[in-house]
C-alpha cells in the first residue's frame, strides 16, 4: 500500500534518528523511541482525522474491516526499499492510534548480532525444539530471522516460517524459505503447524507459542523429526518452561513435561542492555539441555543442570 506524504516524512525522520519505534496518537505530536527513550518530534499535534487518514492509507478494505471488528490489527508495511515496519493499529477513546516498529530491510546475520558460538551451532541441528525467550521488545524476532538466514545460506533445507505479521523477507538461498502469515495465509499458528507436517519441512520457525494447541502442534512436529525454532516472551529459562506448561490444565502438565524433555535442545535467553553511550545491544545466554535437565523436567523440576555460553550483543541499530 502507498503511504501518504506526512507518514513518509515521519518515518524518514525516525530512520535518520536511528529510532526503533514511532507512535501516532490523537492529541499529541508524533513520538519516536531512540535508544530506549521516547522523544517528541517537532511536528503538530495529531487530530482524529490525521491518524484515521494514515490508517485508511496503509490498509486495504479487508484489513480495515478486521480492524473495526477487533479494535486492533497487526500488519507489516513496506514503505520503500529502505523502510519496512511492523504496524499495530488500535483504538483508544474511540480514536485511532498506530505504533510502528522499524525493521532493518536486510536480515541481519547472527555474527552481526554478536551471537555466541553456541547460538551459531543451533542452526546446524537437524531435529528438536529450540526456544528463544526474553522480554517483549528484546529482539526475539530478529534473532529468529537471523537463524533462518543462517540455515538458508548454509545448507539445503525446506524452511517454513509461521509469522504474524511477516517482518523480515527471506530470499531463497541454498534453502527454500516459505513464509506464511497467520491471518492471511492460515487461520492460526496451530492450524498452520499441523498443515506444515504435510509440506515436507526440515525446519519450522514459529513466531509465537500462544496457546496449548500451538504448543502441542510444535511438540508433534519436533517428535516427527523436524527442527522447530520459536519465541516465547518470558524472563529466563525456568520462566519459559513454566510459561509453556501453564497453557495446559494441571492434569496434562506431567505429560507435557515428558514430551518437552524428549525434544528440547536449547533455550536462548536474550535481553537488551544499554551501553555507556546510551546505545542498546543484545546480550545472549544459550542454555544447552543436558541429561540432568531432561531428568529434572520429567520429575517436575525445570531448572538447573544446563550448560551455557554468554555473549554481549551487537552494535546499536541492529535489532
Tens-digit pLDDT profile for residues 113-140: 999 999 999 999 999 999 999 988 888 9
When pLDDT is averaged across residues 104-111 and rounded to a whole number, the result is 89
Grid coordinates given for 106: 536486510
Residue burial 171-182, b: 16+ Cβ < 10 Å; e: rest: eeeebbbbbbbb
When pLDDT is averaged across residues 238-248 and rounded to a whole number, the result is 87
Provide the CB-side half-sphere exposure for 33 (13 A, CA). Answer: 13
The C-alpha atoms of residue 299 and residue 258 are separated, in whole angstroms, by 9
For the chain, give the mean pLDDT.
89
Tens-digit pLDDT profile for residues 151-192: 999 999 999 999 999 989 999 999 999 999 998 899 999 999
What domains appear along the chain, each with residue ranges and CATH number?
A: 5-103 (3.30.450.90), 117-311 (3.40.50.300)
Query: Could you tell me what percent of the chain has a pLDDT over 90?
Result: 72
3-state secondary structure of 36: coil
Contact 117, 286 (CB under 8 A): no
Q: pLDDT band at 212, cuts 50/70/90?
A: very high
Tens-digit pLDDT profile for residues 12-56: 999 999 999 999 999 999 999 998 899 999 999 999 999 999 999
The C-alpha atoms of residue 73 and residue 88 are separated, in whole angstroms, by 6
Q: pLDDT band at 306, cuts 50/70/90?
A: very low
Neighbours of 237 (CB within 10 A): 23
Number of residues assigned to the chain: 319
Q: What is the dihedral of CA 57, 165, 286, 280, to 10 degrees?
A: 0
Highest mean pLDDT range out of 68-72, 137-141, 279-283?
Answer: 68-72
Is pLDDT of 90 > 50? yes
Amino acid at each position: 500500500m502507498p503511504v501518504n506524504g506526512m507518514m513518509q516524512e515521519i518515518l524518514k525522520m525516525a530512520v535518520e534518528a536511528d529510532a526503533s519505534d514511532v507512535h501516532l496518537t490523537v492529541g499529541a505530536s508524533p513520538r519516536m523511541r531512540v535508544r530506549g527513550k521516547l522523544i517528541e518530534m517537532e511536528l503538530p499535534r495529531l487530530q482524529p482525522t490525521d491518524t484515521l487518514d494514515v490508517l485508511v492509507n496503509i490498509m486495504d478494505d479487508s484489513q480495515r474491516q478486521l480492524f473495526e471488528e477487533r479494535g486492533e490489527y497487526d500488519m507489516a508495511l513496506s514503505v520503500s526499499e529502505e523502510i519496512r515496519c511492523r504496524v499495530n493499529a488500535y483504538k483508544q477513546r474511540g480514536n485511532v492510534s498506530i505504533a510502528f516498529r522499524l525493521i532493518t530491510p536486510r536480515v541481519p546475520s547472527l555474527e552481526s548480532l554478536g551471537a555466541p558460538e553456541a547460538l551459531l551451532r543451533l542452526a546446524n541441528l537437524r531435529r528438536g525444539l529450540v526456544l528463544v525467550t526474553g522480554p517483549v521488545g528484546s529482539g526475539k524476532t530478529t534473532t529468529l530471522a537471523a537463524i533462518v538466514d543462517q540455515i538458508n545460506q548454509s545448507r539445503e533445507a525446506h524452511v517454513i516460517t509461521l509469522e504474524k505479521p511477516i517482518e523480515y523477507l527471506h530470499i531463497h538461498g541454498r534453502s527454500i524459505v516459505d513464509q506464511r502469515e497467520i491471518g492471511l495465509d492460515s487461520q492460526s499458528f496451530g492450524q498452520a503447524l499441523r498443515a506444515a507436517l504435510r509440506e515436507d519441512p526440515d525446519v519450522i520457525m514459529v513466531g509465537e507459542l500462544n496457546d496449548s494447541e500451538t504448543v502441542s502442534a510444535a511438540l508433534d512436529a519436533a517428535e516427527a523429526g523436524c527442527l522447530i525454532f520459536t519465541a516465547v516472551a518470558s524472563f529466563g529459562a525456568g520462566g519459559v518452561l513454566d510459561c509453556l506448561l501453564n497453557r495446559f490444565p494441571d492434569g496434562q502438565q506431567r505429560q507435557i513435561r515428558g514430551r518437552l524433555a524428549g525434544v528440547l535442545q536449547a533455550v536462548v535467553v536474550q535481553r537488551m542492555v544499554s551501553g555507556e553511550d546510551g546505545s542498546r545491544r543484545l546480550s545472549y545466554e544459550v542454555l544447552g539441555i543436558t541429561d540432568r535437565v531432561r531428568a529434572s523436567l520429567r520429575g517436575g523440576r525445570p531448572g538447573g543442570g544446563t550448560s551455557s555460553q554468554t555473549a554481549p550483543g551487537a552494535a546499536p541499530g541492529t535489532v
